[in-house]
């Protein structure tokens, strides 16, 4: 039963989320346009050359790859413009989104690593390095697939070369704002209703209901019974799971191997809820409903497949 109180709570949560994420997204898209039109990114050709030559991706996608190290939103903004202009197709977009896994993880290091180490110590560092390695593997798989999908020479498209107009000073700022506004307006138009719907489902208890009914899947994974609470906590917030795991380590209830297996399993289940609660509004807001959901589903699936493989490799090969 959807009551007025639930609607108010959903609206309040949506506003809080949107007011936090939209200014950052808008600033990131503006910064990306600023870097492109100032010619700064073009000066990084020496970094892009090995990447574009190996994978065959267009130079513009290489720029998006680099940009994702600082701002995934700005990188996605660049790719959205490329697909709207017909410079890339959806297969190229999908491969690049998958390839951005490692640079995005590097960007998240500054916020994720201190939390993991502070709660879990050296075990937290090991888990982080495992996840970082998996993102690197995902990136290399995507770039290798790109050799068959991009089918370009790694150079910039003729249309992009034609549109390049190096600017400086006030004209650069004005042009960057003008080029950013259409993308920002499109994101706002889609993100606001999708975010409200997501938060409404949260308030109605839909995600809690689902989480309570899929925990039986943890019986398939090689984690101890004592780790089930950590998996459940991770679906609410990763800090709660790390706090619980830290206490378990201190008490010596679980071994390091069991803690790693538990948190890696929690990441698999947690990523599904993160995708529904956060990634859908994010991807749909940028790329539209069909493309956004497809990109989110593929990215989450590939990430989880690699994490599940890692779980069973750790179970079989990690010393007890």
**Is 255 among the domain residues?**
yes
What's the whole-number mean pLDDT along residues 132-137? Answer: 94
Percent of the chain with pLDDT over 90: 18
Q: At what angle do helices 101-120 and 122-149 cross, to 10 degrees?
A: 170
Whether the per-residue pLDDT at 160 is higher than 50: the answer is no
Task: Name every residue whose Cβ is closer than 8 Å to that of residue 265 and which is 6 or more positions away in sequence.
Answer: 218, 221, 223, 227, 231, 311
Whether the per-residue pLDDT at 307 is higher than 80: the answer is yes
Q: Give the confidence band of 308 by pLDDT, cuts at 50, 70, 90.
A: very high
Whether the per-residue pLDDT at 170 is higher than 90: the answer is no
What's the whole-number mean pLDDT along residues 305-311? Answer: 94
Answer for the pair 120, 249: CB distance below 8 angstroms, yes or no. yes
pTM: 0.74
Query: Whose CA is closest to 264, among 196, 314, 191?
Result: 314
d(CA 294, CA 320): 39
Q: Containing H/E element for 315?
A: helix 289-317
Percent of the chain with pLDDT over 70: 80
**Is 34 among the domain residues?**
no
pLDDT tens for each residue of 253-295: 788 898 999 899 888 888 877 777 777 778 888 888 889 899 9
The number of distinct structural domains making up the chain is: 1
**Is 162 among the domain residues?**
no
The pLDDT of residue 204: 74
Whether the per-residue pLDDT at 162 is higher than 60: the answer is no
Query: Whose CA is closest to 67, among 51, 53, 83, 91?
Result: 51
Q: Give the confidence band of 42 by pLDDT, cuts at 50, 70, 90.
A: low
pLDDT tens for each residue of 113-134: 777 887 788 998 999 999 999 9
Which structural domain, as residue segments, surrounds residue 252? 205-320
**Is 294 among the domain residues?**
yes
**Is 267 among the domain residues?**
yes
**Is 316 among the domain residues?**
yes
pLDDT tens for each residue of 79-88: 888 888 888 8
Q: Give the confidence band of 306 by pLDDT, cuts at 50, 70, 90.
A: very high
**Is 5 among the domain residues?**
no
The pLDDT of residue 165: 57
Whether the per-residue pLDDT at 76 is higher than 90: the answer is no
Mean confidence (pLDDT) of the chain: 78
The pLDDT of residue 182: 78
d(CA 157, CA 57): 11
**Is 103 among the domain residues?**
no
């Amino acid at each position: 039963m959807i009551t007025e109180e639930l609607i108010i709570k959903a609206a309040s949560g949506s506003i809080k989320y949107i007011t936090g994420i939209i200014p950052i997204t808008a600033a990131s898209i503006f910064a990306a346009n600023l870097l492109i039109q100032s010619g700064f990114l073009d000066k990084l050709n020496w970094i892009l050359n090995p990447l574009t030559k190996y994978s065959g991706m267009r130079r513009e996608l290489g720029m998006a790859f680099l940009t994702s190290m600082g701002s995934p939103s700005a990188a996605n903004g660049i790719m959205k413009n490329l697909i709207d202009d017909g410079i890339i197709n959806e297969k190229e977009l999908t491969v690049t989104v998958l390839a951005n896994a490692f640079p995005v993880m590097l960007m998240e290091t500054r916020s994720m690593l201190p939390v993991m180490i502070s709660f879990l110590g050296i075990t937290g560092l090991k888990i982080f390095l495992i996840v970082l390695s998996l993102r690197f593997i995902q990136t290399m798989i995507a770039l290798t697939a790109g050799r068959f999908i991009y089918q370009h020479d790694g150079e910039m498209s003729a249309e992009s070369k034609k549109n390049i107009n190096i600017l400086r000073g006030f004209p650069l700022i004005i042009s960057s704002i003008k080029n950013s506004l259409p993308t920002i307006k499109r994101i706002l138009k889609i993100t606001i209703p999708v975010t409200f719907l997501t938060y409404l489902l949260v308030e109605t208890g839909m995600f809690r209901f689902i989480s309570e009914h899929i925990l039986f899947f943890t019986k398939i994974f090689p984690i101890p019974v004592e780790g089930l609470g950590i998996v459940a906590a991770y679906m609410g917030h990763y800090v709660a799971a790390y706090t619980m795991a830290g206490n378990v380590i201190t008490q010596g209830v679980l071994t390091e191997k069991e803690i790693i297996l538990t948190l890696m399993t929690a990441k698999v289940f947690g990523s599904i809820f993160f995708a529904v609660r956060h990634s859908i509004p994010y991807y749909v807001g940028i790329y539209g409903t069909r493309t956004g959901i497809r990109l989110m589903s593929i990215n989450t699936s590939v990430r989880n497949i690699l994490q599940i493989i890692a779980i069973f490799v750790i179970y079989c090969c990690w010393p007890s």
